[in-house]
Structure 1
Amino acid sequence: MPKLSSRSTISPTKSAVNSAVRILFRADGNTTIGLGHMVRSLALADMVRAVAPGLVLARTPPAVVRELVAQAGLPLLELPELAPAEEADYLLARVLRPTDVLVLDGYGFDSDYRRRVRASGCRLVCLDDLHAGFFPADLIINHSPGVTAADYQAEPTTRFCLGPAFSLLRPPFLRHAALPRPAGPVASVLVCFGGADPLQLTARMLAALLALGSLARIGLLLGGAAAAPTAIQALLAAHPQQQVTLYRSLLAEEMVPVLLGYDAVICPASTILIESLVLGRPVITGYYADNQRALAAYVHAHQQAHSVGDFAAYSDPPLAAALRAGLSRLATQPRQPYAQQLAPDELRARFRALLPGA
């Protein structure tokens, strides 16, 4: 992979911008909201790359987002800081064309925003996990388990891609998808709290695992938007006998062997949970944001992973006890698959059907 410059934006004069038919991906990522929306939008962009040229739209993107987009090989059009309604009107006046397919992924794109951009005549695709408000959309993608079309207020013509079969995964995860293996001993654990880890839960998980004193190896996977691990370094200095490996800002093809190299994963109920489960990994999960709560409860109830509930609500000794109970369950209880089969080909077909003249 060639070395990236500090500003890795690809010029918006590239062919994807000038193409008559484009798929535009509107998503943001930063230290506050994390990188989940951007990562899954880029995963979708790769899945439909053969359908039409892609273009990413992001509002004042930080360096980590520019780098992710550049690594995906896509042009990036940086948007100014505007209120949602103003941004929708800006896109309508200066960016959108009737031949475009616009993909929205983010919680700021409410019913009014969707209605405004739809006025351009473009086709609208919504990546969603909240089903809040009205969706004047041509296609809704929600890869959360248990959701149905009846959960949405949408147009009669709206099509749906719902459930884990439509998990939005980057190519290395699709290639290495596997069913869960039989339960077995857990001697090594990988901790990953996403691209940003805004509550710095990685350090708290490390402290709890060190308190257990039963693991041969611990891995810490930090994203590009995560804060400097000062607390982690202090813990490592206090426990020199424990083997702990720190991974940072890995590419997808680098993440897969790391996830496969540990007996279990500890992560929130976000993109990293879906990636881990699709690889067949044993997982302890939970939530620290409301939009993670439903997925954490579902995978626990369906024996796909073990959820400890609200990560942020635990004090230190109870957190260690909760992790000990979770590791014991993973070592002894069989797990059910998160997705029996993935459907990227059907998803691509849905996008081809959105193109002009289809």
Structure 2
Amino acid sequence: MNLSASAVPRLLFRADGNAQIGLGHLMRLLALANQLQGLALGTFLVREPTAAVGQMLAANGWIVQPLPAQQSWLAEADWLAQQVLQPSDVLVLDGYYFGADYQQRLRVSGCSLVYVDDLQAWPVVADVLINHSPGVMATDYQAPTTTDFLLGPAFSLLRQPFLESAALPQWPTAIESALVCFGGADPLRLTVRIIRALQALPQLQRLGVLLGSAFGDAAALEELAATSSGVIITFHRNIEAAPLANLLREHDMAIVPASTVLIEALVLGRPSITGYYVDNQRALASYVHAHQQAFSVGNFAELNDAGLLARLHDGIAWLETTPRQPYVKQLRPDLLRAKVQQLLDRALP
């Protein structure tokens, strides 16, 4: 497939995801892409996509274009600028390898750039910058005066069922069931440790466990379920957005890292225990805890088994007694869509 064969405005989405790096960036960009569906012909650019990734994107109606494995990320940027991109394109980036030098090399093509960022770690040269993290401001960035900023939870990159079913938190009630979700890969195998800890809490009667296609420790979970006494454990594999929204509503709380799935739970108004295991999750975990939107255990990876059990116990007690504050009062996907439409219109004669 020759992506440079047409001068018609196109939406190109650049992100990666697999068992080693997780699926977070890819899932977030897919949610954004689905919000923009219908604006222009869209293609995902992915390095060596697995069969599961290709199937997921195709099922959502997107073309998948594998990228050659370049020797460096800057070499990839040069290749895209020379072989793929056109001035009429809008390229959307989501990933920690697409820093200022990468973006600047793409600019040679004349394309428009949209950058999804939650690190604020380097200068940006994008036309539009999206950061749906709470508390972030444009002054946190070094960027051209022409950059448009779409900042804060109003611009949360959520799939349609969550956009349609947003709700405010309800009054605290007893916690008797939990949904555990640590992404499609869970490279640190936190799911197994959390299930073991939850089995020791007598008030919990039912656990749901969400597993992705890249999850590598299913056998250990099956063994836990087979030896569990008094707690019903149900596994859910590779479910789509609408069933996930239903599962979040059907359980009394969610236990999730401070990533997209936490935002999905909070937008639905669901009681949540969260935390972090990589640095880019730390700020969100701290924010929602400080603003009484969710309970954070802190660093999941640094807690030993006893510490994890104690923090989960504290989190449940907090959720059962504390009125929670809303994560966002109004979502604005309409403004996000309008801003990208402006970039596409700019390329028209």
Q: TM-score range by the shorter chain?
A: over 0.9
Contact persistence 1:178–1:279 (CA under 8 A) = yes
DSSP-derived class of the 1:322 partner: helix
Q: Distance in 2 between matches of 1:181 and 1:214?
A: 20
Do structure 1's residue 24 and structure 2's residue 19 form an aligned pair?
Answer: no
DSSP-derived class of the 1:250 partner: coil
CA deviation after TM superposition for structure 1 residue 18, in Å: 4.3
How is 1:66-105 mapped onto 2 (pairs within 5 angstroms)?
A: 66-82=54-70, 83-105=72-94
**Alignment match of 2:221 (pick from 216, 223, 232):** 232
The aligned counterpart of 1:320 is 309
The aligned counterpart of 1:341 is 330
**Alignment match of 1:277 (pick from 266, 270, 283):** 266
**Alignment match of 2:205 (pick from 199, 206, 216):** 216
Contact persistence 2:180–2:209 (CA under 8 A) = yes
CA deviation after TM superposition for structure 1 residue 241, in Å: 3.5
- Could you tell me the percent identity over the aligned residues? 53
**Which segment is superposed worse, 220-229 or 201-210?**
220-229
1:264-323 deviations in Å (ceiling 9; x for gaps):
000000010001101110000000000000000000000000000001111112211110
**Alignment match of 1:40 (pick from 8, 13, 28):** 28
The aligned counterpart of 2:160 is 171
DSSP-derived class of the 1:211 partner: coil
Do structure 1's residue 250 and structure 2's residue 245 form an aligned pair?
Answer: no
1:195-250 deviations in Å (ceiling 9; x for gaps):
11010100000000001122110111111211131221221222144211011111
Do structure 1's residue 297 and structure 2's residue 286 form an aligned pair?
Answer: yes
**Which segment is superposed worse, 163-172 or 210-219?**
210-219
| Amino acid paired to 2:46 | A
**Alignment match of 1:153 (pick from 142, 152, 164):** 142
CA deviation after TM superposition for structure 1 residue 64, in Å: 2.1
The aligned counterpart of 2:50 is 62
Q: Distance in 2 between matches of 1:326 and 1:76?
A: 41
DSSP-derived class of the 1:133 partner: coil
Q: Structure 1: which 4+ aligned runs deviate by more than 2 Å?
A: 16-19
Q: Distance in 1 between matches of 2:296 and 2:180?
A: 14
Q: Distance in 2 between matches of 1:228 and 1:250?
A: 18
The aligned counterpart of 1:6 is none
Q: Distance in 2 between matches of 1:327 and 1:240?
A: 21
The aligned counterpart of 1:4 is none
Contact persistence 1:19–1:53 (CA under 8 A) = no
Contact persistence 1:55–1:76 (CA under 8 A) = yes
1:311-346 deviations in Å (ceiling 9; x for gaps):
111111221111011001101100011110000000
DSSP-derived class of the 2:199 partner: helix
CA deviation after TM superposition for structure 1 residue 150, in Å: 0.4
| Amino acid paired to 2:170 | R
Q: Distance in 2 between matches of 1:49 and 1:246?
A: 31
| Amino acid paired to 1:256 | A
TM-score after normalising by structure 1: 0.94
Contact persistence 2:178–2:251 (CA under 8 A) = yes
The aligned counterpart of 1:8 is none
**Which segment is superposed worse, 256-265 or 314-323?**
314-323
Contact persistence 2:15–2:46 (CA under 8 A) = yes
Instruction: Name the count of aligned residue pairs.
Output: 346
The aligned counterpart of 2:190 is 201
CA deviation after TM superposition for structure 1 residue 115, in Å: 0.3
| Amino acid paired to 1:112 | D
Q: Distance in 2 between matches of 1:154 and 1:239?
A: 54
CA deviation after TM superposition for structure 1 residue 51, in Å: 2.0
Contact persistence 1:17–1:55 (CA under 8 A) = no
Q: Distance in 1 between matches of 2:8 and 2:227?
A: 59
CA deviation after TM superposition for structure 1 residue 253, in Å: 1.6
**Alignment match of 1:50 (pick from 38, 63, 86):** 38
Unpaired stretches in structure 1, ≥5 consecutive residues:
1-11
Contact persistence 1:139–1:158 (CA under 8 A) = yes
**Which segment is superposed worse, 48-57 or 72-81?**
48-57
The aligned counterpart of 1:3 is none
**Which segment is superposed worse, 151-160 or 210-219?**
210-219
Contact persistence 2:166–2:268 (CA under 8 A) = yes
Q: Distance in 1 between matches of 2:264 and 2:42?
A: 23
